[in-house]
Chain A
Amino acid sequence: NAGVTQTPKFRILKIGQSMTLQCTQDMNHNYMYWYRQDPGMGLKLIYYSVGAGITDKGEVPNGYNVSRSTTEDFPLRLELAAPSQTSVYFCASSRQDQETQYFGPGTRLLVL
């Protein structure tokens, strides 16, 4: 049982480039989340999804987009990367919104 997987593990982007962070879960969870974690800080919610075809903004959505075409996958798209988006990005999933969240290993992104 792989749980939540994320790719890539690390990426360097130039300012203005775009990329997609991949997230897949195999637990048949309805809820999926994208967080960012800046050094020494907690997690801030970027976007979340309550099921396939349904997404909603979190606390810090600007500069990002998401889609949820299947239950398993929840990719995060960065358009026009900026240095402020340098961070570690975590994907998580849960069966219901108030239940335990299971986290992926994270993607470390550096924008130069």
Chain B
Amino acid sequence: KQEVTQIPAALSVPEGENLVLNCSFTDSAIYNLQWFRQDPGKGLTSLLLIQSSQREQTSGRLNASLDKSSGRSTLYIAASQPGDSATYLCAVYNTNAGKSTFGDGTTLTVKP
């Protein structure tokens, strides 16, 4: 059974700092990995999707990497802003299971 872990559960940084969020998974036979953002009381918004054959994906100040063999992904946020404050979840899709497994998320607070 796939297990997805996100550490730390919460992170607080000053504005302007570069930061890394971590996601690890136990079953490396994944099809893709997705990073989501969730604002308080809202649904999830997809940020980046990395296929298993890819090493990284970039969108603006966000860069997600994937190391399938070690079961790890990182989300790098450059020059953090208060508007980046949210909970970030990763989800891995396993073809054999036919579904996505979500981590519990990392709640990020960027202080002005």
Contact = CB atoms under 8 A, between A and B. Distances in A.
Interface string A41-66: 11111001000000000110000000
Interface stretch (A13-21, A72-80, A100-108): A100-108
B93 to A, nearest CB: 5
Contact of A98 (B4, B32, B46, B103): B32
Contacts of B103: 42
B42 A40 contact: no
B89 A42 contact: yes
Interface string A73-112: 0000000000000000010100001111111111000000
Given A97-B98, A98-B32, A98-B95, A42 B4 contact: yes
Given A98-B32, A98-B95, A100-B49, A40 B43 contact: no
17 contacts: A4-B43, A40-B104, A41-B104, A42-B4, A42-B89, A42-B103, A42-B104, A43-B102, A98-B32, A98-B95, A99-B49, A100-B34, A101-B34, A101-B100, A102-B46, A104-B43, A106-B43
